[in-house]
Amino acid sequence: MTASGSEPSQTPLASAAPAPKPAAKPAAKPAAKPLPEPVFNQRAGRLIRDTRYWPTELWKDPWASQSYRRGAAWLAGIILGIFATGWAVGELAPWGDRIYEAIVSFVSARGWPAVVGEAIWIVIKALIVLHVILINGLWAIWWERKISAHIQSRVGPTYAGGFHGWAQTILDGIKLLLKEDVTPTAADKWVHALAPAIVVVPVIIAFAPVSFGVELSAANLDVGVLYIFALAGISVIGIVMAGWASGNKYSLLGGLRASAQLVSYELPRAFSVVPVLMFAGSLNLQIIAQAQSGYWWGVVPRWFLFYPVVGQVAFAIFLIASIAETNRTPFDIPEAESELVSGFHTEYSGMKWSIFFLAEYGYVLLASFLLAAFFLGGGAAPLPWLSAIPSWIWMLSKALFMMFVFLWVRWTFPRFRADQLMDFNWKFLLPWSFANIALAGAYLLWI
Binding site for another protein (CB under 8 A): 1-4, 18, 20-22, 40-41, 44-48, 52, 54-56, 148, 151-154, 249-250, 253, 329-330, 332-333, 336-341, 411-420
Residue 366 vs residues 206, 307, 316, 404: alpha-carbon distances, Å: 8, 23, 17, 13
Cβ–Cβ < 8 Å for 299, 380? no
Q: Give the dihedral sign, CA 275/276/277/280.
A: positive
Nearest to 19 by CA among 30, 3, 33: 3
Which residue lies nearer to another protein by CB, 229 or 411? 411
Which residue lies nearer to another protein by CB, 53 or 159? 53
Q: What is the smallest separation between the CB atom of 41 and another protein, expressed in angstroms? A: 5
Which residue lies nearer to another protein by CB, 290 or 329? 329
Which residue lies nearer to another protein by CB, 66 or 153? 153
Which residue lies nearer to another protein by CB, 21 or 110? 21
Which residue lies nearer to another protein by CB, 66 or 185? 185
Which residue lies nearer to another protein by CB, 65 or 152? 152
Residue 201's Cβ-count burial label (10 Å; 0-12, 13-18, 19+) is middle
Cβ–Cβ < 8 Å for 346, 335? no
38 conformational bin, left if phi > 0, alpha if psi -120 to 50, beta if neither:
beta
Q: What is the smallest separation between the CB atom of 357 and another protein, expressed in angstroms? A: 17
Instruction: Name the H helices within 281-344.
Output: 285-290, 310-325, 337-340
Q: What is the smallest separation between the CB atom of 160 and another protein, expressed in angstroms? A: 21
DSSP 3-state assignment of 440?
helix
Which residue lies nearer to another protein by CB, 4 or 66? 4
Q: What is the smallest separation between the CB atom of 20 and another protein, expressed in angstroms? A: 7
Q: What is the smallest separation between the CB atom of 122 and another protein, expressed in angstroms? A: 43
Tell me how far apart the alpha carbons of residues 172 and 180 are, in angstroms, rounded to a whole number: 14
DSSP conformational letter for 164: T
Residue 325's Cβ-count burial label (10 Å; 0-12, 13-18, 19+) is buried
Tell me how far apart the alpha carbons of residues 14 and 22 are, in angstroms, rounded to a whole number: 10
Q: What is the smallest separation between the CB atom of 423 and another protein, expressed in angstroms? A: 9
Which helix H or strand E contains 212, and what residues bound it? strand 211-213
DSSP conformational letter for 427: I
Which residue lies nearer to another protein by CB, 70 or 417? 417
Q: What is the smallest separation between the CB atom of 31 and another protein, expressed in angstroms? A: 23
Which residue lies nearer to another protein by CB, 18 or 30? 18
Residue 36's Cβ-count burial label (10 Å; 0-12, 13-18, 19+) is exposed
Q: What is the smallest separation between the CB atom of 66 and another protein, expressed in angstroms? A: 23
Q: What is the smallest separation between the CB atom of 415 and another protein, expressed in angstroms? A: 3
* Contacts of residue 12, Cβ cutoff 8 Å, sequence gap at least 6: none
Q: What is the smallest separation between the CB atom of 10 and another protein, expressed in angstroms? A: 11
